[in-house]
Amino acid sequence: MKNENHLRKFIRESFISLYEQAKNLECPEATQNLELNTRNRNSAIEADYIQYGPLNLTDEAYWERAAEHWKTTPDVAKESRCYNCVAFDVSPRMQDCMPGEIMSQEDISNAMEENREWETLGYCWMHKFKCHSARTCYTWAAGGPIKDDLQSADWQERNQDV
Ligand code: SF4
């Protein structure tokens, strides 16, 4: 019983410490520096292995290329977007870093629960720029979005060069 209490206390203190760290972390530089953000975004558009896009969401040629890259159909390729990518951060702390108003956490949660498409800006931890939820890139990976401050802080801790 004594060990169990110690463990609970340890977990609670660790959680509080992580939460405090998340609160104190600065915004990623690209969210505050337009020139850096634009440079990183343009690199992501141009790099053969990233191909961030499409610029125009109805650009079918882009989705056909993405489908070919993933060896699937354009309709299936369209299901892999920034909004469900593991690196796409729309946590409350990241929302505070974004210039201007973006979609609220509540609206995002409702759209996800109702399986509706939703559009907003978020931060891409893989390529370090503000990306749009309805776009995608060749390095997309399942598991997102990041909606939690602690998870966001964890990505930032592992990206200390930002
Ligand atoms: S890594 Fe994910 S969040 Fe970043 S641009 Fe690609 S699909 Fe979007």
Check if 108 has its Cβ closer than 6 Å to any atom of ligand 1: no
Ligand 1 pocket, residue 126 CB under 6 Å: yes
What's the one-letter identity of residue 158? R
Question: DSSP state, 82?
Answer: G
Mean pLDDT of 98-120: 86
Distance CA 64, CA 53 (A): 12
Q: How many residues does the chain have?
A: 162
Distance between CA 23 and CA 15 in Å, rounded? 12
So what's the pLDDT on residue 117?
77
20 pLDDT band, cuts 50/70/90, is low
Residue 89: which H helix or E strand, with range?
A: strand 88-89
How many angstroms separate the CA atoms of 150 and 24, rounded?
Answer: 12
The model carries a pTM of: 0.85
- Measured from the Cα of 81, ligand 1's closest atom is 7
Distance, in Å, from the CA atom of 88 to the CA atom of 121, rounded to the nearest integer, reads: 9
Most confident of 16-20, 68-72, 110-114: 68-72
- In short, whether 146's Cβ falls inside 6 Å of ligand 1 is no
Q: Mean pLDDT in the chain?
A: 88
Give the pLDDT score at 162: 46
Q: Is the pLDDT of residue 36 over 90?
A: yes
